[in-house]
Amino acid sequence: MTQDKRILITEVALRDGSHAIAHQYTVDQVSKVAKALDEANIPYIEVSHGDGLAGSSLQYGLSRTHELELIEAAVAVCRQARIAVLLLPGIGTMEELRQAANLGVKMARIATHVTEADVSAQHIALTKELGLEAVGFLMMSHMAPVEKLVEQAKLMESYGADTVYVVDSAGALLPHEVKERIRALRQHLGIPIGFHAHNNLSLAMANTLVAIEEGATRIDGSVRCLGAGAGNTQTEVLIAVLERLGLSTGVDLYKMMDLAEEIVAPILQVPQEITRDSLVMGYAGVYSSFLLHAKRAAQKFNIDSRDILIELGRRKVVGGQEDMIVDVAAEIAKSRQEPAVR
Amino acid sequence: MTQDKRILITEVALRDGSHAIAHQYTVDQVSKVAKALDEANIPYIEVSHGDGLAGSSLQYGLSRTHELELIEAAVAVCRQARIAVLLLPGIGTMEELRQAANLGVKMARIATHVTEADVSAQHIALTKELGLEAVGFLMMSHMAPVEKLVEQAKLMESYGADTVYVVDSAGALLPHEVKERIRALRQHLGIPIGFHAHNNLSLAMANTLVAIEEGATRIDGSVRCLGAGAGNTQTEVLIAVLERLGLSTGVDLYKMMDLAEEIVAPILQVPQEITRDSLVMGYAGVYSSFLLHAKRAAQKFNIDSRDILIELGRRKVVGGQEDMIVDVAAEIAKSRQEPAVR
């Protein structure tokens, strides 16, 4: 057991937040935000395209600035904070990981779908080989039953991960579901457990507190809620709540409040509210990339896109299976035309 | 015991939300919002100035439209929803309560500071005399210890209140504090218990779920988070979460999502985010009216306004004691000039 007592925060506004501003970060913005976060004593700052290293593409959204430039800028201004990167095997490669390490990155988070931990083995191994801290990042964790999640987390541990995260990518987990997941991982793993929330159901803070209560010590936050969907656990608010609860993070609350208001808020183009789309995503437990496809299919079949999304969530359809969206829409439309069973 | 099993929602966007738009509601806006809420099957809709009946004033903010006109408009469009009003004795009078009842209002919520329930006796009595449902509304509930809260709630029950609410006006309560308060009220009162949250610490949903778990059956929400400070529990999100938890509200989720997006969102001038000011208010547990005074005093004494607000919260300073703000600022400034004790 290497569990720390202190809660270690990873700030994700410069990675997950990239989604919220269509990947338009400039070197100047990243330098200012990273410098202020460093001065507030945030221990880890993640910098990458929203979909991880090499995410910049027509499919995932083109970055305004090459992420290696942004990483370099962040590394340059930090005195104590360690820069982290996200890598989704299949999008990013071993080569990008080496480049990031060369720039002074200290932690790599290797992210896979919750049932596909096996694709992370080589990347976790390389992360350790490069002398970086390795984090296994199990996305869409709400889609797997607890036993499956434990099995996948143990795989990541066996590959050498120093920490494994439960990642609620769709903001779909309910507090009791977080509780059973973190509890099970604590029982079955010997490494620290982390939690990454999204606020689509307005439960990011609730779920984060439950995770901490159950022993998670690595927690993600995004300052001013700057993350995909409805954003993440709002970092400066989390610091305030943890102080009120008597839990130590080492982070300076006033400095966090100030940088949120003065440096990060002006970067936001669209407010981080819980809109209909982000709510539907959390309620149905689906990828945000499904939304547009579902709306098109709904129009074609004259049905409600939400019925499609909820059915996709029920069937646990994953990224890459977008062709199923039209099939599901057709089925729903057909079932409505049939006479009701008496 | 007259406890219902169903969770009964009171929508407060047309009352608490009035703060968020500087009391600028028009008859047209209120008609449209109330009609859509009624069609979504919301059981109670509160309509009043943000500070309750007769709140329109230089001190509390002038309403653009007389609230009786807004109440009349809401009553006119509702087929099933009951219109409620808020009344703070000292701001509103018995006369306004009679006028509201004449317009077809079915519920009055009589609000006092958590330690001043005794000023609600006559207003609760009149509410019952007029044939309305009477709710006791204990504001700034975080300021009183649990025993005091129970004592004050019992007073309201003894005056004839049909329901008593724990009101977290500053958004300052932590989940375990909500738990012990609702639990104690359930043990000591025979009437239904309600909960009204604010989201200043991003805990509105967390606290609302804890309140429901402990047996609260009357819950306030504001659609699109349209309430004072950082807003309240976001109603359409709450309906989604309660559905996921298998709890019945009778409210139509899709209709709530649609009215939030299409009717309420366009009314908002400023997004309902957790800003530095609303966070400080929740962290310190003080009235929002203290913020401006504290900033002025901070400038005068060259200190941080947050230190003043936190000290005011510690001393449990209440509305009407604004003169203490400069005293506290002076003390803080003085203590900083004294040589450190060795």
Give the residue from B43, B20, B37, B29 showing the smallest Cα distance to B194.
B43
Which residues are B45's β-sheet partners?
A: B11, B83
- Residues B297-341 pLDDT 10s: 999 999 999 999 999 999 999 877 888 999 999 999 999 887 655
For A300-317, give one letter per residue: b (16+ CB within 10 A) or e. ebebebbbbbbbbbeeeb
Query: What is the rounded CA–CA span in Å between residue B152 and residue B133?
Result: 19
Active-site annotation of B, residues: 19
* Chain B contact present for A201, CB below 8 A: yes
Token readout for B238 is 């709450």
Query: What is the rounded CA–CA span in Å between residue B77 and residue B42?
Result: 13
pLDDT at A323: 87
> Is A60 assigned a ligand-binding role in the annotation?
no
Q: Tell me: pLDDT of B4 over 50.
A: no
B180 membership: H or E segment, kind and range: helix B175-188
Residues 241-280 of A with CB under 8 A from B: 241, 243-245, 253-254, 257-258, 260-261, 265, 271-276, 279-280
* Chain A contact present for B208, CB below 8 A: no
Q: Distance from A236 to chain B by nearest Cα, in Å?
A: 9
Residue of A nearest to B306 (CA): A254
Query: What is the rounded CA–CA span in Å between residue B109 and residue A208?
Result: 34
For A131-145, give one letter per residue: b (16+ CB within 10 A) or e. ebbbbbbbbbbbbbe
Contact A304 B265 (CB under 8 A): no
The fold adopted by the segment(s) A8-267 is TIM Barrel (3.20.20)
* Chain A contact present for B240, CB below 8 A: yes
Q: How does residue A288 score in pLDDT terms, banded at 50, 70 and 90?
A: confident
Size of interface A-B (CB pairs under 8 A): 106
Amino acid, single-letter form, for residue A7: I
> Is B15 assigned a ligand-binding role in the annotation?
yes
Please check whether the two domains, A8-267 and A286-337, share a CATH topology: no
Residue B247 near residue B208, CB atoms below 8 Å: no
Q: Tell me: pLDDT of B5 over 90.
A: no
Residues 278-297 of A with CB under 8 A from B: 279-280, 282-283
Query: What is the rounded CA–CA span in Å between residue A23 and residue A17?
Result: 8
Q: What separation in angstroms does the CA of A233 have from each of A12, A225, A238, B139?
A: 10, 6, 7, 27
Residues of A within 8 A of B202 (CB-CB) are 199, 204-205, 233-234, 237-238, 241
- Residues B140-187 pLDDT 10s: 999 999 999 999 999 999 999 999 999 999 999 999 999 999 999 999
Residues of A within 8 A of B283 (CB-CB) are 240, 243-244, 253
Token readout for A174 is 């309910």
Boundaries of every domain in chain B: 8-267, 286-337
* Chain A contact present for B136, CB below 8 A: no
- Residues B275-305 pLDDT 10s: 999 999 999 999 888 999 999 999 999 999 9
Residues 298-327 of B with CB under 8 A from A: 304, 306
Contact A205 B206 (CB under 8 A): yes
- Residues A122-180 pLDDT 10s: 999 999 999 999 999 999 999 999 999 999 999 999 999 999 999 999 999 999 999 99
Amino acid, single-letter form, for residue A181: R
Residue B194 near residue B178, CB atoms below 8 Å: no
Q: Tell me which residue has tokens 């966090």.
A: A256
Which residues are B110's β-sheet partners?
A: B87, B136
Amino acid, single-letter form, for residue B252: D
Q: Tell me which residue has tokens 């529990």.
A: B233
Residue A158 near residue A186, CB atoms below 8 Å: no
Q: Residue A65 gets which letter from DSSP?
A: S
Token readout for B330 is 């002076």
Contacts of A86 (CB under 8 A, 6+ apart): A15, A46, A48, A51, A52, A53, A108, A109, A111, A137
Residue B202 near residue A205, CB atoms below 8 Å: yes
pLDDT at A339: 64
pLDDT at A1: 37
* Chain A contact present for B179, CB below 8 A: no
Q: How does residue B235 score in pLDDT terms, banded at 50, 70 and 90?
A: very high
The fold adopted by the segment(s) B286-337 is Helicase, Ruva Protein; domain 3 (1.10.8)
Q: What separation in angstroms does the CA of A160 have from each of A132, A153, A237?
A: 11, 11, 33
Contacts of B131 (CB under 8 A, 6+ apart): B101
Q: Which residue has the higher pLDDT, A270 or B89?
A: B89
Q: Residue B340 gets which letter from DSSP?
A: P
Residue of B202, B226, B239 best to disrupt the A interface, most CBs of A under 10 A:
B202
> Is B4 assigned a ligand-binding role in the annotation?
no
Q: How does residue A3 score in pLDDT terms, banded at 50, 70 and 90?
A: very low
Residue B159 near residue B120, CB atoms below 8 Å: yes
Q: What percent of chain A has pLDDT over 90?
A: 90
